[in-house]
Amino acid sequence: MRKHFAVLGLGRFGKCLALSLAKLGNTVLALDIDEKLVQDISDYVSVARVVDCTDIEALREVGVANSDVAIVAMGTNIEASVLAAMALKDLGIPIVVAKAMNETHGKILEKIGVSRVVYPEREMAEKLARVLTSTNVMDIIDLSPDYTILEERANAQMVGKTLAHLFEPDKRSGVIVVAIKRNDHIIVGPPGSEKIREGDVLVIVGETEEVKKLIQE
**Using one digit for the tens of pLDDT, what is the confidence trace for 81-126?**
999 999 999 999 999 999 998 889 999 999 999 998 888 777 666 6
H helix runs in the chain, sequence order:
12-23, 35-41, 56-61, 78-90, 103-111, 120-133, 163-166, 208-216
- The per-residue pLDDT for 141 is 67
Q: How far is the CA of 53 from the CAs of 44, 73, 169, 209, in angstroms? A: 20, 10, 50, 38
Count of residues making up the chain: 217
**What domains does the chain contain, in order, with CATH numbers?**
4-118 (3.40.50.720), 123-216 (3.30.70.1450)
Q: Cβ atoms within 10 A of the Cβ of 99, count?
A: 26
Integer Cα distance of 115 and 68 in angstroms: 12
**Region 137-153 average pLDDT:** 70
Asked whether the predicted pLDDT for residue 130 surpasses 60, the reply is: no
Asked whether the predicted pLDDT for residue 214 surpasses 80, the reply is: no
Specify which residues 30 forms β-bridges with.
7, 48
